[in-house]
Every structure is written in C-alpha cells, then in structure tokens.
Amino acid sequence: MLVGLYTVRIKLGILGIEDYGIYNVVGGVVVMFTFLNGAMTQATQRFLNFAMGQNDTEQARNVFSISFIIHILIAVLVVILAETIGLSFFYTILNIPTDRYTAALIVYQFSVVTTVIGVLQVPYNATIIAYEKMSFFALLSIVEAFLKLGIVFLLAIILFDKLMVYAFLVSIVGLIIFFTYKVYCNRMFEVAHFRFNKDKTIFRQLASFSGWSVFGQFANVCRNKGIEILINIFHGVAMNAAMGIAMQVNTAVYAFVSNFQTAFRPQIIKSYAANDNIYFTRLIFRSSKVSYYLLFFFVLPLYINADFVLQMWLKIVPEYSVMFTRLMLIYSLEIAISGPLWMAIQATGEIKKYQIILSCLTFANLPLSFLFLYLCFSPVWVLVIKIALSVVIFIWRLSYMKERINFPVIDFLHEAIIPILIITGISCLAIYSFSTLFIDWTKLLLSCIVSTLCIGSLVYLVGINKQEKRMVLSWVKSKIFKEKY
C-alpha cells in the first residue's frame, strides 16, 4: 500500500498531469475488453476451489487445463477487439491533445500487451489462491510493487518520451510476474501442468458459469471505464488525472482488505462444497465485519485529512482530487462488506438471476452519469451515483441469498451491519469533533492515534460477539506468553 501510494506521487511528478491523465484514459479503453476475462477468473477460482473442497484432484487438474485453453481464446479475442473497435474508439471519441496523439497510440498498444499477459496469468493466480499459498502471493505482490516503483525512478534519467517508456516497462514487469507465477505453479502444484483435455462437461460448466458472469463483468467495466471516458469527453485529461489519483489511493488502501478477502475466499467455497453450512454462514458474518473494520482503520483518518495528505503526497494536486478521493473511500467501505456476499453467491453456482439483476443495476451508472454530466452537474455526481447504486446492489445481494440458500439476513443485520453502523457513527462524530481543534501534521498524527484507539475499543466492545472476544483474548495471550506454549 505504502509503496503504491509513493509510486503514484513520483509518477505524477515525472509524467505531469496531462500525460498521467492520458495513461489512465487510454489504458481504460483496453481494459473495457477484459470483461470476458473477469468472468472466467471467477469461474476458474470457483471450480478449482469446489473441486478441492471435495478432494477431487483429477477434477481440479481438468479445470486448470480447460480454463487455460479458454484464457488463450480470450486473449486472442481481446487483441482483435482492441485493434478494431478499440482503435476506432481511440481515434473518434477520446479527447487527446493533438501533440500527444502518437505517444498515446503507442501507450495504447503496450496496454494491449500488458492486458493479454494478465489474461494468461489468471489460471496460475487462481491455483495459488485455491491452494491458499498466501505467503508467495503476498511476496510476489510486494516484488511487483517495488518493480513498478523502480520503473518510475528510472524515468527520471530516461531521455526518450517518458510516457511511452513507462508503458513499455510496465508491460515488461507484467511479463516477469507472469513467468514467475508459471514457474512456481509448475514446480509446486501437480494440477497446474497443462494437458490437452476434451472433457465437455467441465467446459460446459465453466462456460455456463462464466457466461452469466459476463453480464456482470461487462456492466462493471462499462461503469468503471465508461465513467472515466465520459469524464474525458466532458472535462478533458486533467479531470482524468484527478479521477486517476482517487482510484490509485482507493486501490492502494483497499488492497489491504482485498488481499485479506482473497485469503478467505477459498474457505467460503470449500465450506459450501463440503456442506458445512454452519461454518459457511459464520465465515460470511465474520469476514464481512473484519473486512470493514480493517478498512475503516485506514479510511477514517485519511478521509478527514484528505486535503492535507494529497498536498503533502503529490505537491501537484489536480482539481477535484480531494472530493473524488473521499467519495471513493466511502464506496470502498461498502464494497468491503459486500465482498463475502458475492463470494458466497458464486459458491452456489446458481447465478443466472443474480447476474441479470446485478448487471442492470451496475450498468445504470453509465446512463445516469451521462445525464448528469450532460446537464452540467459537477463531475462529483458520477461517484455519488456509484455509491447510491452500490447500496441498492448490496440490498439485492441479501435478498438473493435469502431466496437461494436461506441466508439468515436478520441475524446478519443484527450481528454485522448494526455494529458497523454504531462504530462508524460514534467514531466519525468523535474524530471529527476532535480534529477541528488542530491543523496539518498535528491534526494528521493525532487523528490517526485517536481514531485507532477509538475504533479498536468500539470494535472490541460492540463489533464482535462473545466467542470472537474469547478468540481475540486467546490469541493475545498466546503472543504475550509465547514462551510458555
């Protein structure tokens, strides 16, 4: 998280607001064509984890091989779409400064290469997560972050066009990470050896699951990248830079919780496959709460000090960056709660109705954002709409889980949502009242300390049940008196 945030600062300073905005919006066009890959990512992880939950190694091996074939086909399709529809979109729609057209086009091509590498990496990534080798996953994530930081430092001494060189080096880093995943998986996991497989049953299962997931992934890409393109059309690349900064901050902060959720995703799917309903439900409750609490520790002081932090961090702060950042942090808190819910729905494999409704609600971001921007509303409204619709989607998820797996919604609200609301309300009121007495560094440091103590105390008193308190106390005692155990 820290390396990622520091990298953004150096990158913005070296590239400048205009080139930074160009990189974000041009890369966004390519990412629009990866919705098929997103759907297959979910399918691969679900069926690998399900097979392992049933202790069926042969089935897991077949899933890996067939998913790899499908990802090769997806990579080819991404290239075709990017070099036809994508290029047409680049030339006719995007608002790129004339003197940067050539550089932007080269960045576009390197973005295609980076995206294709990411598509082919998915089966290996899914295998590592399925086997819960989180130490390697974490180590490689840290290595990748430092490699990207090294790229940015290298740009300072590069005499060529820095934007083009940056896009090229990012694709090289992607290639290095891909081969590292491949070598590790081939050596460590028997199932990760590709073999040609004609099992039509598995192919149909993967295709059916991912087929319905495509709707949700397509809507998600349209929402995220479509909004960036709309902002580019109505407000230019400078506003894309502001949105890009907000997204980078949110990505860096949320990565802490995202990796935590990655760790428990296999357990959710495996417990469902093993018909362990008690553990399955308890895991959803706990993971939703803990995801929110972990993120809230970071979000609250960052939200209150966003203006000072961005100024200290970036030096050059594009207009609207502070407000965009604050709204993205609010959005990420809601997503932290929802993560275990959609993982549980995927575990069931019954996602047709869920994906259709989800896709419609997600895609609604695009026409609503266009309408508000066309009517000359502030660009801030695109994120307000995003937050409002995410709340509606959260309610839909609970309703669907109640219908499909008889999920105890009332218990979930009582044990997870109500404590979250209480902790959030009291913490925000206390920290905001306290922070108005100070400014700058004093405000930042004291708000971090006070918010940590306040949130930590409230989580223990209100946010966890008696059994979880006993678990916490047992863990603390084992660390304090480690030598006695």
* Positive or negative torsion for Cα 346, 349, 353, 359: positive
- Chain centroid to CA 4: 14
> What value does the mean pLDDT take over residues 410-436?
89
Angle at 402 between CA 401 and CA 405, to 5 degrees: 65
How many residues are recorded in the chain?
485
121 close to 185: Cβ distance less than 8 angstroms? no
* Positive or negative torsion for Cα 55, 73, 41, 359: negative
Kindly state the tokens that stand for 395: 């309610």
Confidence at residue 85, expressed as pLDDT on a 0 to 100 scale = 83
H or E segment at 432? Answer: helix 418-435
pLDDT greater at residue 236 or residue 39: 236
Give the whole-angstrom CA distance, residue 406 versus residue 280: 12
At residue 370 the predicted structure's pLDDT band, cuts being 50, 70 and 90, is very high
347 close to 272: Cβ distance less than 8 angstroms? yes
pLDDT, tens only, 293-331: 989 998 999 899 888 888 887 767 778 888 999 999 999
Cα–Cα distance list, 220 to 21, 114, 126, 256 (Å): 21, 20, 20, 21
439: CB partners within 8 A, 6+ apart? 308
At residue 482 the predicted structure's pLDDT band, cuts being 50, 70 and 90, is low
Going from N- to C-terminal start, the domains of the chain cover 2-407
Confidence at residue 485, expressed as pLDDT on a 0 to 100 scale = 45
Residue 293: phi, psi to the nearest 5? Answer: -60, -45
Give the whole-angstrom CA distance, residue 412 versus residue 401: 11
DSSP string of 171-236? HHHHHHHHHHHHHHHHHH-GGGS------HHHHHHHHHHHHHHHHHHHHHHHHHHHHHHHHHHHH-
Give the whole-angstrom CA distance, residue 235 versus residue 324: 14
> What value does the mean pLDDT take over residues 411-423?
93
Is residue 484 pLDDT above 60, yes or no? no
Q: Looking up tokens 């916490």, which residue turns up?
A: 472
pLDDT, tens only, 164-215: 888 888 889 989 999 998 999 888 888 878 777 666 777 777 766 666 666 7
